[in-house]
Structure 1
Amino acid sequence: MKPIWKWILIILALLLLAVGGVVWYYGRNWKPILETKLKEVVHNSSNGLYTLTYDDLDLNIGLGNVTLREVELIPDSAIYQQMIVEKSAPDNRFHIKLKALKIRRFGLWDVLRNRQLSIKSIVLEQPEIHLTSEKHAFNDTVSTEPKKTLYESIEDIFTSVNVRDVQLDDVKFTYSKIDSGKTSGIELNRVTIKVHDVLVDKTSIDDSTRLFYTKMIDVHVPGFEYELPDGFYKLKFDDLSINTKDQNLLLTKFAYEPKMAKSAFFKQKNRNITMTILKFDTLRLENLDFKELIDNQKTIAASAQLKNGIVDLSNDRRYPKYPKNKIGRSPHQQLMKLNSLIRLDTVLVDNVTITYHEFSAKYGREGSISFNHARGNLTNVTNDTLALAKDKFMRADLSAKIMNSGRLHAKFGFDMLSTNGYHTYKGSVGAMNATAFNRILKPLLNVELASGNMKKVTFNMEGTDYRNWGDFRFDYDNLKIRLLNEQKKGEAQTSKKVISFFVNQIIINDSNPDANEIYHIGKINYKRDPEHTFFKTLWQSLLDGIKQTAGISPEREARLMGTAAKAQDAVKESNSAVNKTKSFIRGIFKKKEKSEDSDEK
């Protein structure tokens, strides 16, 4: 072997011995140094609010591994109270416990040479995270003193920190909200969180591709159920998935429903207020701006999807109702009144069935009307006045099957900036058998349609807070009504044949065009009752069109009342029968409320 190679080998051996000695030395002596630095960083970066404790620290400089066991990050309540006095306290504080914190493959050379900390992975085992939220008014005001960034908190130690992957498995998360001295909260178990590519340096805070200094946060929450503070409703879902890189939020098997049966709900409420059930297989938000949501509580997304669901609304007229002025409370007006900003380009509705149920106090039965397999979309769903300055209309284009039969297609336009709630609605209903409506007519009005062929309905309407107006067309034939006697227990229900005959022969047109080939068009100019909801007003306006196309003008209705009374006398019916006929006509043409209160809660 040549002398030069001997010297090379000697030098390499010496270098290895030197490196080994350094690794051995720092492995033995850096532990107290590292412990001191860790606690110093936590304390300084939180202005003394947090203290870091752990049972053991295992450091392997050669491999670049650190393991802390039984770790706890503890907020100091005394410091927090002092920060409240100084008006510097954050609204949120954390108490975190870990079975173990494992840091793998950190680059010692980069730390020593450039003060750059690079870590391949961090694993948090069995984390318990308790977030306490306490709103402080001083955090809502604009501070003249700039807040310290995370980088500014660590720049004296590191010029940059980069972590490739962070993994949190089987997380137990508790959220507590303190408001006016009262505490409420929720608890989540078995949560999984993955974080990819964390970078804290001088420029990363301004990187628009990062959220909280990360390229991606992926959260999975299984099996959640929460009872709302009102004591009546609960919220649950099978799975929640959030991915900040894809900007998606997905809820599966979502449900908002009462905690008790329908009868118990109304008994406890002791008033006729709408009971609501919402269930969807899929609730999805796409291209959701998580930064705006977290920083400013603004919900901004390209689209929202409601798929395979039901909306059930129920009222019980055996209980009292407390009328309220509904002016200014239409859906688009309520959206404009929300405290937080919402901007959804499109809301997609796919296979959702809406059903309204009502229990009759008079007949002791429940009737219902349904709009099955609703599909369509809502666009420009926003209360952002800057966006509305470019296009002030929120629009809806929806279709469904009424009573799972005739196809309804309706388009709505809502002027979001209108001071009087201006809106439009137009649409059509395809051919169907009118007897499908017996599901709501018979239980609530004690009347049924013996026959009727609905060929087509079209309407083109405008409305404000105070009136609705427009054209209504209704093509039908062979319309026959059957009035029913009150059903006695254990007996079959019978019809009032004589009164039914006079109603069919005198009161209504059995077709449109009628027997004289006159086509009746409804010219609607309906004045709103201030206590009627938006949807009740919409229905009453269309009902006015139905009456006109059926030949029931106010004048004819008054004149035919007298004719009906004479006819009853001719067949020796009592005056009470006449009164019942009048009551029926008023009931079917003036007081129908089969889906009127579905938006009240």
Structure 2
Amino acid sequence: MRPVWKWVIGVIATIIVILVSVIWYYSRNWKPIVETKLKEIVQNSTNGLYSLHYNDLDLNIGLGNATLYNAELIPDSAIYQQLIRTKEAPNNRFHIKLSKLKIRRFNLMDVLSNKKLNIKSISFEDPSIHLMSEYHEFNDTVRTEPKKTLYESVKEVFTSINVREIDIDNVKFKYTKYEEGNMSNFDFEKVKIKVHDVLIDETSLRDTSRLYYTKMVDVEIPNFEYDLPDGFYRAKFKGLKINTRDQNLLMTGVDFRPKMSKANFYKHKKQNVTMAELKFDTLRVERLNFQALIDYQQTIAWKVQLKNGSVDLHADKRYPKYPIIKIGQSPHQKLLKLKKLLRLDTVVVDNVSLVYHEMSGKYFREGSISFNGVNGLITNVTNDITALKKDKFMRADLRAKIMNSGNIHAKFGFDMLSKTGYHTYSGTVGSMKATAFNRILTPLLNVEIASGNIKKVAFNMEGTDHKNWGDFRFDYDDLKISLLNKKKDENGEQSSKKVVSFLINELLINDSNPDKKGVYTVAKVNYTRVPEHTFFKTLWQSLLDGIKQCAGISEEREARLMGAADTGKKVVEKGKDIVEGAKEVGKKTGNFIKGLFKKKDKSEEDSEQ
């Protein structure tokens, strides 16, 4: 039996030696063939745009492994310019460097017999990727000849290429954008990219479940910061996750604000422009069309969610504001003018606070008005004319607490196709103390609400570029205001002009609506827009007009009120005589005060009109 076993062992050993020898031979002799074919495929499949360089190729056919050392995929700028002239250039180019490219478990027999290349995994070591983006309009137009696909470029060598997994870890990623002669850059560090199931064959490009031949691309980017080209603002986030299979994008710790303090911002700007600070715990985009985003910089998604955040807007009236005509610059009109397509079915606002701060140029104090915990939906956010022809209105339905006190519910409708900027807005404000508004009134107007109960506010308005009109209802009682002295007293408190305030409350302002006689005032707003005012300032001025009408303050009385506030000393001196009961005031000071503040009856107002 021993000779038989020796014979068997000898045969097996011989086969192994022959197999190893064949593998060694083919590994050595196939290496130049593989190298030549590899570079040829890269050259042909990219119309000569890219070339592949590396120091060495380690090829083990027996194990189905290959390793490229110090590999580099380099775009040719001269070829790119030629492709631009022939209108064949892609919007994006890549320059990729890596220390090792490991290809594991490919089957040589499939390549030889079926021209099919199946690879289990590809991994990148120490990768550096530079993406250069340059938009070209010709990529949006319909081509008379179809663009050559990647499959058509490789089909002479392979009928199909399949890679199950690609891992790119710890990537240094640089993004450069070229636009209208300008260049901007930003960098990512420690990026993780995983690609699942890459398939290049005759049918894969038409597979709607794939993005550029892939079933899934998963990207994670930590701790990103970017200084905007304007030199004033910085954008950053704690984390970004992208999954093309689920069509989701998730950003956490989003922060957008000036790089400098508010004082330095305005010192450098030297004018009263809006300074913005935005912060969100979560920004989520669902069912995002990544192909449209990558190819054409178009943002098409089903839902965007802004969660747990704040928007702070600042103005400083100590600096000049250069008058600019704002007609045609409303938010929905700006949206329609965007160069790139935007189509969002729904924007979900979840617990976001909006605060407007303004520094007075007269009293050098900052006032603010806040909308706390805003929740709601904005729908049909798009500049897609085709979609707008089916439904031309962008809508917003939002709820919040104004001054963190009263509940406000507002609805907006924007006619996106209107040439005059037509829009509607309606809403209600629930019960609250009027004194909550002292946060903005006292610093900016030197006026304080001493008391007041707001029972309900309701408005139903329409507007265009030039007019705002509609009904305004304001139910309140016990409204009292105080005009304040500019300077603080010895105790550091700001005292009120008691006599003037008393006269205004008694003679100028209706302390309730309905009034003591049960007469209820409904304001009929018909406000003409000041061309230099923004959309939101015009909206506020229209609502303020309604408040004034309900409170019984005509334009003439308001002018007299402001005059009284500016010349309060003289008025106080004459008003003291009234309070002290001097009888002579009826003929002298009394007539002056009454002429300044008296409420006209209906017949007097009609005669003036």
CA distance in 2, matches of 1:554, 1:47: 73
Superposed counterparts of 1:532-571, under 5 Å: 532-554=533-555, 569=574, 571=576
Superposed counterparts of 1:320-331, under 5 Å: 320-331=320-331
Structure 2: which amino acid aligns with 1:115?
Answer: K
Superposed counterparts of 1:165-314, under 5 Å: 165-179=165-179, 182-314=182-314
- Are the structure 2 counterparts of residues 184 and 296 from structure 1 closer, same or farther at C-alpha, using a change threshold of 3 Å? closer
- Are the structure 2 counterparts of residues 78 and 424 from structure 1 closer, same or farther at C-alpha, using a change threshold of 3 Å? closer
How far apart are 1:166 and its partner, in Å?
0.4
Superposed counterparts of 1:100-115, under 5 Å: 100-115=100-115
Other structure's SS at 1:22 match: helix
Aligned identity (percent) is 65
Structure 1: which amino acid aligns with 2:376?
Answer: G
Other structure's SS at 1:391 match: coil
Q: Which moved more, 1:462-471 or 1:127-136?
A: 127-136
Q: Deviations over 1:379-437 (max 9, x none)?
A: 11112122222222111110111111001111111111222111111111111111111
* 2:346 alignment partner in structure 1: 346
**Any gaps of 5 or more consecutive residues in structure 2?**
579-587, 600-609
* 2:403 alignment partner in structure 1: 403
* 1:422 alignment partner in structure 2: 422
CA distance in 2, matches of 1:327, 1:532: 8
Q: Which moved more, 1:328-337 or 1:486-495?
A: 486-495
CA distance in 2, matches of 1:533, 1:70: 57
CA distance in 1, matches of 2:48, 2:398: 56
Q: TM-score, normalised by structure 2?
A: 0.89
How far apart are 1:16 and its partner, in Å?
5.9
How far apart are 1:180 and its partner, in Å?
6.0
Structure 1: which amino acid aligns with 2:272?
Answer: N
How far apart are 1:296 and its partner, in Å?
2.5
- Are the structure 2 counterparts of residues 537 and 115 from structure 1 closer, same or farther at C-alpha, using a change threshold of 3 Å? same
Q: Deviations over 1:453-472 (max 9, x none)?
A: 11111111111112111111
Q: Please tell me whether the aligned partners of residues 353 and 370 of structure 2 are also in contact (alpha carbons under 8 angstroms).
A: yes
Structure 2: which amino acid aligns with 1:172?
Answer: K
Other structure's SS at 1:537 match: helix
* 1:531 alignment partner in structure 2: 532
Q: Which moved more, 1:565-574 or 1:282-291?
A: 565-574
How far apart are 1:480 and its partner, in Å?
0.7
Q: Which moved more, 1:224-233 or 1:183-192?
A: 183-192
Structure 2: which amino acid aligns with 1:314?
Answer: H
| Residue 477 (str. 1) matches residue 477 (str. 2) | yes
- Are the structure 2 counterparts of residues 518 and 81 from structure 1 closer, same or farther at C-alpha, using a change threshold of 3 Å? closer
* 2:369 alignment partner in structure 1: 369
CA distance in 2, matches of 1:566, 1:88: 79
Structure 1: which amino acid aligns with 2:265?
Answer: F
How far apart are 1:28 and its partner, in Å?
2.5
CA distance in 2, matches of 1:180, 1:526: 41
How far apart are 1:582 and its partner, in Å?
7.7
CA distance in 1, matches of 2:341, 2:145: 27
CA distance in 1, matches of 2:191, 2:571: 76
Q: Please tell me whether the aligned partners of residues 412 and 423 of structure 1 are also in contact (alpha carbons under 8 angstroms).
A: yes
Structure 1: which amino acid aligns with 2:483?
Answer: L
* 1:383 alignment partner in structure 2: 383
How far apart are 1:38 and its partner, in Å?
1.3
- Are the structure 2 counterparts of residues 503 and 307 from structure 1 closer, same or farther at C-alpha, using a change threshold of 3 Å? same
Other structure's SS at 2:333 match: helix
Q: Please tell me whether the aligned partners of residues 370 and 404 of structure 2 are also in contact (alpha carbons under 8 angstroms).
A: yes
Q: Which moved more, 1:288-297 or 1:139-148?
A: 139-148
* 1:359 alignment partner in structure 2: 359
CA distance in 2, matches of 1:368, 1:229: 30
* 1:588 alignment partner in structure 2: none
Structure 1: which amino acid aligns with 2:536?
Answer: F
Q: Please tell me whether the aligned partners of residues 288 and 299 of structure 1 are also in contact (alpha carbons under 8 angstroms).
A: yes
- Are the structure 2 counterparts of residues 81 and 333 from structure 1 closer, same or farther at C-alpha, using a change threshold of 3 Å? closer
Superposed counterparts of 1:61-140, under 5 Å: 61-84=61-84, 88-135=88-135
Q: Which moved more, 1:418-427 or 1:121-130?
A: 418-427
Structure 2: which amino acid aligns with 1:509?
Answer: N
**Any gaps of 5 or more consecutive residues in structure 1?**
586-601
Q: Deviations over 1:560-584 (max 9, x none)?
A: 9999999974645999xx89x989x
CA distance in 2, matches of 1:442, 1:151: 70
CA distance in 2, matches of 1:517, 1:80: 79
How far apart are 1:83 and its partner, in Å?
4.5
How far apart are 1:558 and its partner, in Å?
7.8
CA distance in 2, matches of 1:436, 1:424: 27
How far apart are 1:41 and its partner, in Å?
1.4
CA distance in 2, matches of 1:172, 1:452: 61
Structure 2: which amino acid aligns with 1:70?
Answer: N
- Are the structure 2 counterparts of residues 275 and 555 from structure 1 closer, same or farther at C-alpha, using a change threshold of 3 Å? closer
* 1:486 alignment partner in structure 2: 486
Q: Please tell me whether the aligned partners of residues 372 and 403 of structure 1 are also in contact (alpha carbons under 8 angstroms).
A: yes
How far apart are 1:142 and its partner, in Å?
4.9
CA distance in 1, matches of 2:362, 2:141: 57
Q: Please tell me whether the aligned partners of residues 172 and 188 of structure 1 are also in contact (alpha carbons under 8 angstroms).
A: yes
Q: Deviations over 1:463-518 (max 9, x none)?
A: 11121111111111111101110124864211100000000000001111111111
Structure 2: which amino acid aligns with 1:229?
Answer: P
Q: Please tell me whether the aligned partners of residues 93 and 133 of structure 2 are also in contact (alpha carbons under 8 angstroms).
A: yes
* 2:603 alignment partner in structure 1: none
* 1:36 alignment partner in structure 2: 36
Q: Please tell me whether the aligned partners of residues 506 and 560 of structure 1 are also in contact (alpha carbons under 8 angstroms).
A: no
Other structure's SS at 1:327 match: coil
Superposed counterparts of 1:456-535, under 5 Å: 456-488=456-488, 491-535=492-536
Other structure's SS at 1:202 match: coil
Structure 1: which amino acid aligns with 2:166?
Answer: V
Q: Please tell me whether the aligned partners of residues 561 and 582 of structure 1 are also in contact (alpha carbons under 8 angstroms).
A: no
Q: Please tell me whether the aligned partners of residues 488 and 495 of structure 2 are also in contact (alpha carbons under 8 angstroms).
A: no
Q: Please tell me whether the aligned partners of residues 135 and 179 of structure 1 are also in contact (alpha carbons under 8 angstroms).
A: yes
Q: Please tell me whether the aligned partners of residues 435 and 452 of structure 1 are also in contact (alpha carbons under 8 angstroms).
A: yes
How far apart are 1:375 and its partner, in Å?
0.5
- Are the structure 2 counterparts of residues 488 and 189 from structure 1 closer, same or farther at C-alpha, using a change threshold of 3 Å? same
Q: Deviations over 1:527-562 (max 9, x none)?
A: 222222111111111111111111223476689999
Other structure's SS at 2:305 match: strand
CA distance in 2, matches of 1:182, 1:308: 35
Structure 1: which amino acid aligns with 2:525?
Answer: I
CA distance in 1, matches of 2:26, 2:189: 40
Q: Deviations over 1:323-370 (max 9, x none)?
A: 121111111111111111111111100110100101111111111111
Structure 2: which amino acid aligns with 1:551?
Answer: G
How far apart are 1:141 and its partner, in Å?
5.5
- Are the structure 2 counterparts of residues 18 and 129 from structure 1 closer, same or farther at C-alpha, using a change threshold of 3 Å? same
Q: Please tell me whether the aligned partners of residues 428 and 459 of structure 2 are also in contact (alpha carbons under 8 angstroms).
A: yes
Structure 2: which amino acid aligns with 1:317?
Answer: K
Q: Please tell me whether the aligned partners of residues 378 and 397 of structure 1 are also in contact (alpha carbons under 8 angstroms).
A: yes
Other structure's SS at 1:513 match: coil
Structure 2: which amino acid aligns with 1:164?
Answer: R
* 1:594 alignment partner in structure 2: none
How far apart are 1:221 and its partner, in Å?
0.8
Structure 2: which amino acid aligns with 1:508?
Answer: I
Q: Which moved more, 1:277-286 or 1:550-559?
A: 550-559
* 1:595 alignment partner in structure 2: none
CA distance in 1, matches of 2:59, 2:278: 53
- Are the structure 2 counterparts of residues 80 and 409 from structure 1 closer, same or farther at C-alpha, using a change threshold of 3 Å? closer
- Are the structure 2 counterparts of residues 8 and 144 from structure 1 closer, same or farther at C-alpha, using a change threshold of 3 Å? farther
Q: TM-score, normalised by structure 1?
A: 0.90
Number of corresponding residues: 579
